[in-house]
């Protein structure tokens, strides 16, 4: 969620939810509050903690299965 007014422009860190300044105000890790939260998020992606829902009959699932079969061949 982004909060905005004339005095401050802030967003919430997606990991720890504290308010952080936008990048143009000196935060090089935006939208995260720190390197720690940025690395935590990267770890979530690497460990597949974030996923997109895929219907059992979707074309995407078939493409992934076909790709996996081709790798095994």
Is domain 2-72 given the CATH code 3.30.50.10 in the classification?
yes
- The model carries a pTM of 0.57
Tokens linked to 9: 């422009």
User: Which comes out higher in pLDDT, residue 30 or 60?
Assistant: 30
| pLDDT band with cut points at 50, 70 and 90 for residue 40 | very high
Does residue 67 carry a pLDDT above 90? no
CA distance 7 to 9: 7
Where are the domains positioned within the chain?
2-72
| pLDDT given at position 7 | 44
């Amino acid at each position: 969620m982004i909060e905005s007014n004339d005095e401050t422009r802030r967003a919430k860190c997606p990991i720890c939810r504290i308010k952080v300044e936008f990048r143009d105000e000196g935060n090089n890790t935006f939208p995260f509050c720190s390197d720690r939260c940025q690395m935590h998020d990267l770890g979530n992606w690497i460990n597949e903690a974030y996923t997109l829902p895929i219907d059992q009959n979707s074309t995407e699932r078939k493409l992934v299965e076909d790709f996996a079969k081709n790798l095994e061949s």
